[in-house]
Structure 1
């Protein structure tokens, strides 16, 4: 891929993801302030102790929830999101923006990752739970954003600077406000559970179609791992559409999108208008940026845990290499070569892991 195109994708991804509540450089303080004033606020860091040391760059924990709030019963059935929400994290991603603002790294964390949740009190109750093993996605329902941050920091030994949470509703509205997002696939993708039915080739997805695309778990045997790859592909395509369509540089379009999303987006108090403008302004000046995607390397994707069923065990050595790079503001590492693998043929990643991937490699 030519360097010029790689730089363009780095700019697009970084510019969009740095403005995750839908603002961008050039929009202006009044519009940005209006957006941030309407965003739901959560206390994601209060009371947390023994946290990892702060590193260079900026780390944002992006959580997609399974909340159905704002959807009618008919819409829930039509979008294949019926049933009660468990208030769990449906997608968990760690976004790192380098200190020099020239690189964006996004790491997908399997939602079924086995972890030990610290002692906590259940939300809106006095029910106290001692520390216990559980799946990572349950941290949100057990202790809200604070426990989610604490669990991710415990697993990754990486300090989280900001927390951002989006729901099914906000996701679909964002896609529809863009006029749909284009994705491509070499094979048909079908999942009756999620309502996904895509032919091979290129398709433009509306909000409900995009939700089916990123939620589908029964497309192939890859389950959550295939879904994480589709989520990364979709984020890259979303970024391209938002920037190439001029949405993020148009105050009117930003305001319209923000109005549609404000009731279903939550962020920590520290992610304010001033910081967003600062980030967006820095992103605007990218000239040699790159964007990269990866998933946490795993040792066992179907580890049976007592009382929990099938869980995901991380490859601790490889995962530590990955997060050590984030902690020290370095590009994400490539898998270590197998000594028995010929030099001209790259080694296969560990079971369930995804190689580090450039943005230009996962878009149409």
Structure 2
């Protein structure tokens, strides 16, 4: 059932989606191993002291928060023209943390899982009251700011910084109480980061089941696969009116968008393009806030499996909606949420253990050194997500990821090469069911161009590259099926 905001004005305000937080973190994760870039990234990122204590479990839990702030991470106002582009209506001065995801990353490098928490979830907010979870940050920040002013603090930046830490800390505690997981790290992104990131990577591929024309969000899209960026990306992730399940449908949108962002960064050569990489770093520095104790270089080494696409997105279970003094709220049962989170993490741990016991993936031919070659993949079949699945398979075999894209309907699959690269092309073809190879002068030397046609058999890929949505997942009533980076499905 769709929910509605208590104030109509808020229906047209930009609700920044968490996809950029994770995407920015992924950028840092995947570039952190190069010390020069790591230093450049961390030197310009704003930090906040919000993590209290720690635990000694075998995973890191990262709270990812999106805010609709009209300032950058350093508190500088965004240009008026950009403010008009990113949101509608007058600035109320109220910060909204409308997207919240808890990312669970095993310290042994296993697969990660991201739990989305609906912004209208009705919860107990420590030190405040029972309210929507997206009130935890702004409401307690406002109260802290009032107290600081009453105590005689006159510097506006000091008031903003200290009150923001209070708001973030309260949100962290609220999420911990709801999920039962200790939050080890914090990352926050604003509107500017969202806009700049999608522009920097050249757009993101998404797919819609039906055409959309929603004047409230500005979402106007055709049905089917398409590439979006900038303002159109903002409209895609903020739309909730006209969707079957309102905010729940919007959460699905942000999840598939994040999966697509992750796949674009990881598999399309973005990280090997100096210009794009610098743009990504600049976006992170302008719009990202992280906790002061986060060692990003260590996290980069820990989270290597995210780079392999092993990232799953789930929404916590809900039990319906109601209208009360706090407006239209989404009901959640903390005990049910804790059980769901624990069960999913345990399932992932068991799956990781089984994967370690399984025989290794078949290697490429021994006379080919995979790391010498870049593999570009185009999908001309009628199978959604095959280009991404094949690209991941090639990465598993040691090849370097190149461009990953869709193309027009193609009847026959082929691996194209140039010059003396036939052996490498044949090694790739053998891994894809023995499809033909073809010499083509237009292929860049050192690259292998895989074209997937209508005859491509996805059964030739190992189970690790299957669309994770085909894998049965037990979830409580109200929880959506998972979305992963292994092929982005079409959504409402």
TM-score range, shorter chain: 0.7 to 0.9
Unaligned 5+ runs, structure 1: 1-12, 120-130, 334-345
Which residue number corresponds to residue 276 of structure 1?
296
User: 1:258-277 alignment to 2 at 5 Å?
Assistant: 258-271=281-294, 275-277=295-297
Native 8 Å contact 2:62 2:102 kept in 1:
yes
Q: Could you state the TM-score of these two structures normalised by the residue count of structure 2?
A: 0.59
Native 8 Å contact 2:309 2:485 kept in 1:
no
Which residue number corresponds to residue 356 of structure 1?
482
Give me the whole-angstrom Cα distance separating, in 1, the residues matched to 2:326 and 2:170: 19
Give me the whole-angstrom Cα distance separating, in 1, the residues matched to 2:350 and 2:100: 18
Native 8 Å contact 2:33 2:300 kept in 1:
no
Native 8 Å contact 1:80 1:194 kept in 2:
no
Which residue number corresponds to residue 408 of structure 2?
none
1:293 counterpart = 2:316: no
Native 8 Å contact 2:319 2:331 kept in 1:
yes
Q: Deviations over 1:151-189 (max 9, x none)?
A: 111111110110000011101101100011111112112
Match 2:245 to one of 222, 244, 267? 222
TM-superposed deviation, 1:332: 10
Q: Deviations over 1:217-273 (max 9, x none)?
A: 1131411100100000000111111112222345554333212331221010012xx
1:320 counterpart = 2:338: yes
Match 1:118 to one of 99, 105, 126? 126
Partner of 2:319, secondary structure, is strand
Match 1:59 to one of 58, 61, 67? 61
Which residue number corresponds to residue 90 of structure 1?
98
Give me the whole-angstrom Cα distance separating, in 1, the residues matched to 2:133 and 2:339: 20
Give me the whole-angstrom Cα distance separating, in 1, the residues matched to 2:475 and 2:487: 17
- Which structure is higher in RCO with an 8 Å CA cutoff and minimum separation 6? 1
Give me the CA root mean square deviation: 3.0
Unaligned 5+ runs, structure 2: 1-18, 72-76, 141-166, 352-471
Match 1:132 to one of 129, 133, 136? 129
TM-superposed deviation, 1:23: 4.7
Q: How many equivalent residue pairs?
A: 318
Which residue number corresponds to residue 40 of structure 2?
34
Q: Deviations over 1:111-131 (max 9, x none)?
A: 111111111xxxxxxxxxxx3
Tell me whether 81-90 or 258-267 shows the greater mean CA deviation: 81-90
Give me the whole-angstrom Cα distance separating, in 2, the residues matched to 1:357 and 1:260: 26
Q: Deviations over 1:304-358 (max 9, x none)?
A: 23x201111114454222222467684599xxxxxxxxxxxx8996664212344
Give me the whole-angstrom Cα distance separating, in 2, the residues matched to 1:243 and 1:204: 17
Structure 1 or 2, whichever has the larger Rg, is 2
Native 8 Å contact 1:56 1:328 kept in 2:
no
Distance verdict in 2 for CA 1:245–1:27, change over 3 Å: farther
Give me the whole-angstrom Cα distance separating, in 1, the residues matched to 2:347 and 2:49: 26
Native 8 Å contact 1:17 1:239 kept in 2:
yes
Match 1:19 to one of 25, 41, 60? 25
Partner of 1:87, secondary structure, is coil
1:76 counterpart = 2:83: yes
Native 8 Å contact 2:218 2:235 kept in 1:
yes
